[in-house]
Structure 1
Amino acid sequence: MSNEAIDLELLRNLSEADGIGGREREVSRIVHSYAQPYVDNIYYDNLGSIILKQNGINKNGPKVMLSAHMDEVGFEVRQITEQGFLKLLPIGGWWGHVMPAQEMTVTTNDNKKYIGVIGSRAPHGLSDEVKNKVMKPMSMFLDMGVDNKFEIEQMGIEIGNMITPNIKVRQMNNPNYLLGKAWDDRFSLGAELEVMKRTSVMDHEATLYFTGSTQEEVGIRGARSAVHKIKPDLAIAMDVTTAQDTPLDDRNVDNLGKGVVLAVLDSLTIANKGLLYRMKRLATEQKLDIRYDFMTVGGTDACNIHKAMDGIPTMTVSMPTRYMHSPRLMVNLDDYKQTITLLTEFCKTLSEKDVSLFKETTREALVDKY
């Protein structure tokens, strides 16, 4: 595995940036700034996905798309009450249990930021029926600590403004563990940019497209437009998967810090078997730890990429995270480093003749090649 240093400041900047579906500009600016020394062209599609093109040594080499989404789950301002409370509209999936008493950041149209707290109740005197009931996100509100609606309007807060968790990145007691918001999918986005940085000083036959997609959490939308812009020969989606290694699950599945996760399938995509076998072989050669993911609920950018045009050979490479779709997620740098090593080797070694192999449809034909 590569001993190259990990850019923790990049991860911090990506995590702490605010960017829900349709409001990813703050994140894409970080990506744009970081990528400039390492790519030959930077452009966008009409949904705001950023595409970073890195030329290969062969002009006719395969076009490879890596995709990690920039958006996080969050909220928009749905209503401003006369008392100055903000009613919430969830953008992406939220479970009511993880929301009460959390600090949130409201970002105005002119990029001013204000902190509020989601209202919660004291348990004293509440009936068991109320205490055992999960509050629905649509019933919640943000307390901005003001007297009335007029003060909210003076702050420049309007209907439709973005609301995100107010969380700073923290290295935990074991510094390989990182706590922060938006690791779904900024952890993968950071890994993608690290791969881009490494391949920039390598001779690779493929033309590489590193994509920061938009609106994944609200329907996997940005990847659909980006893939039509790129028209790749094959694609790798990068996303997180749910760790099940805490007392909440007690299943010892997708533990943090145990290496690369290859997604065999999810509810929306079946991995291209040629890509899956190639990743397995490369991981073995690099002496990486391999795990396999079978996520029966949810999907990744691969969902809309693999169905584009006449079909794109696609798979997902994942990293586990605890406490997904909550204000605070936990990830592990060992998984990050191994994923970067695997995808760098994949991009470096891919040749034009490989593409036809990935398009083979029978397992027997593929086993002979891999």
Structure 2
Amino acid sequence: MESNVIKMFKELTETNGIVGHEKPVREVMKKYLEPLADEITYDHLGSIIAVKKSAEDAPRVMLTSHLDEIGFMVTNITDEGFLKFTGLGGWWEHVMLAQRVNVITRSCDMVEGVIGSKPPHILKAEERKKVVSMNDMFIDIGAESKEEAFSFGVRPGDVIAVICPFTIMKNPKLMMAKAWDNRIGCAIVIEVMKRLKDEQLNCTLFGVGAVQEEVGLRGAKTAANKIQPDISFAIDVGIAGDTPGISKTESNAKIGKGPQIVLYDSSLVSHPGLRNFVTDLADELSIPFQFEALPFGGTDAGATHTAGSGAPSLAITIATRYIHSHAAVLHYDDFENTVNLFVNIFKRLNKETVQNIIF
């Protein structure tokens, strides 16, 4: 595990980039991509696009991750100074209570708080069996009135980030952080561009950090319409099925056993030609991989495959424990194997290969 990669993981995961407010993490990604790309451009929603150029008539290949992380937004402040809020992205209320958060004010100050609700001691027996609704939760920032909350700089519309420092676990290949969904994808885009910097490719490569994936794949759609790719890949996190209580029929995936090739999800049926090209290459190079199929959920490939006249697309995910919570865990080897796979994919893609995939 290289120290510069670990530093990148820490910076990407600890920087806040809540849905619709991705600029801080976009700036981090820009810092890493600028020395590696021939050109940096943006779409009008704020997605970043790093270009490694090839011949003018070379196929255009898009590798996209998403910048945004799930979080919350302040919707109201009570007379007593408590914050009411809503979710930005998909939250499961089980994981929210008593968690620490940072309210990010307009001036970018952080106001720390904790998510609270009525204590169980005063709930009726039937109420204690139910999941507390987000509508019944609040955030305590230590204000004693609405006016004091205002004096802290807090206003409705401020976004709220969860708190979880990047942590290397006792097994040093396991890493815990907030926002692995999808900062691991951002890290893969950066590392792939880094390893290909001095390579002469036969495709033009577009490395993308897309905005607003968690609320409808929005940045991937606008970025793909700008790029007009011939082939597209999306990197994201996937379900890890290696924790207690998950049956093999629900998920076979294990962290550390290679990237997940997504056969289908609710946003995309993977393109068979592209999928076979990738899995044949992985077999040839002895790169481990796993298959994944999900009846729900989606990735940015769900938006990129319909750009222009269509772009054969494939989602490749990293098995991750506890996604859409305050702390997620993944395995370093999956990062390394995914980077290795993509580097070799882009070395092989040319006009003839892309034509064979499409037709």
TM range (shorter): over 0.9
Q: Which residue of 1 aligns with 2:311?
A: 312
Alignment partner, residue 100 of structure 2: 103
> Which residue of the partner structure matches residue 287 of structure 1?
286
> SS in structure 2 opposite 1:188?
helix
- The separation in 1 between residues aligned to 2:146 and 2:3, in whole angstroms, is 49
**Counterpart in the other structure of 1:80:** 77
The answer to whether 1:117 aligns with 2:108 is no
User: SS at the partner of 2:74?
Assistant: strand
Cα deviation 1:17-63 (Å, max 9, x = unaligned): 1111110001100011111110011111011111011112x332111
Given that 2:230 and 2:310 are in contact with CA atoms closer than 8 Å, whether structure 1 keeps it comes out as: no
Distance 1:89 1:340 in 2: 36
- SS in structure 2 opposite 1:208? strand
* Structure 1 residues 318-337: Cα deviation after superposition (integer angstroms, max 9, x where no partner): 11111111111111111111
Question: How many percent identity over aligned positions?
Answer: 37
Contact 1:106–1:114 at 8 Å: present in 2 too?
yes
Counterpart Cα distance in 2 of 1:248 and 1:178: 22
Asked whether the 8 Å contact 2:262–2:315 carries over to 1, the reply is yes
Query: Does residue 274 of structure 2 align to residue 275 of structure 1?
Result: yes
SS in 2 for 1:11: helix
**CA apart distance, 1:295:** 1.0
Aligned twin of 1:194? 191
Q: Which runs of 4 or more aligned residues in structure 1 lie more than 2 Å from their structure 2 counterparts after TM superposition?
A: 3-6, 120-128
TM-score (ref. length: structure 2): 0.96
Q: 1:124: Cα distance to partner?
A: 2.9
Q: Do structure 1's residue 338 and structure 2's residue 337 form an aligned pair?
A: yes
- Tell me which of 135, 139, 144 is aligned to 2:141: 144
How far 1:350 sits from its partner (Å)?
A: 1.0
Matching residue of 2:32: 34
Residue 155 (str. 1) matches residue 148 (str. 2)? no
Q: Deviations over 1:175-223 (max 9, x none)?
A: 1111111111111111111101111121211111000001110011111
Tell me: CA distance 1:6–1:339, structure 2 relative to 1, closer, same or farther (3 Å): farther
What residue is the counterpart of 1:49 in the other structure? 47
Report the Cα distance in structure 2 between the residues aligned to 1:20 and 1:4, rounded to whole angstroms. 28
Using the TM superposition, name which of 244-253 and 221-230 deviates more: 244-253
Runs of 5+ consecutive residues of structure 2 not aligned to the other structure: none
CA distance in 2, matches of 1:138, 1:123: 17
Shift of 1:248: 2.9
Paired with 2:148 and 2:264, the residues of 1 have a C-alpha distance of 50
Q: Which moved more, 1:266-275 or 1:22-31?
A: 266-275
Aligned to 1:358: 357
* Residue equivalent to 1:16: 14
Distance 1:288 1:199 in 2: 18
Query: Separation in 2 of the partners of 1:13 and 1:138?
Result: 32
Distance in 1 separating the partners of 2:3 and 2:85:
40
Aligned partners of 1:248, 1:86: CA distance in 2, in Å? 35
Amino acid at match of 2:279: K
CA distance in 2, matches of 1:40, 1:187: 23
Q: Which amino acid in the other structure matches residue 71 of structure 2?
A: G
Cα offset, 1:64, TM superposition: 0.6
Q: Which residue of 2 aligns with 1:236?
A: 233
Give the superposition deviation at 1:290: 1.8
1:118-267 equivalences under 5 Å are 118-251=115-248, 253-267=252-266
Quote the Cα distance in structure 2 between the aligned partners of 1:138 and 1:344.
46
Tell me, in whole angstroms, the C-alpha distance in 2 between the residues paired with 1:73 and 1:128. Answer: 32
1:35–1:193 contact (8 Å) kept in structure 2: yes
Maintained 8 Å contact 1:95/1:137: no
Partner of 2:302: 303
Distance 2:3 2:347 in 1: 19
Distance in structure 1 (CA, Å) of the matches to 2:4 and 2:272: 31
Supply the distance in 2 between the matched residues of 1:135 and 1:81 (Cα, whole angstroms).
19
Shift of 1:129: 1.1
1:6-27 Cα offsets, whole Å, 9 max, x none, are: 6011111111111111100011
Distance 2:172 2:37 in 1: 31
Alpha-carbon distance, 1:140 to partner: 1.3
Offset from partner CA, 1:110-161 (integer Å, 9 cap, x none): 1111110001444335332111111112321110012111121112111110
Match of 1:62 among 59, 63, 80: 59
Q: Normalization by structure 1: what TM-score?
A: 0.94
Q: Is the 8 A contact 1:82 1:148 kept in 2?
A: yes
Structure 1 contact 115–166 (Cα < 8 Å) conserved: no
Structure 2: distance between partners of 1:167 and 1:5: 20
Where does structure 1 lack aligned partners over 5 or more consecutive residues?
A: 361-370
Q: Size of the alignment, in residue pairs?
A: 357
Q: RMSD in angstroms over aligned alpha carbons? A: 1.4
Contact 1:237 1:302 in 2 (8 A): yes
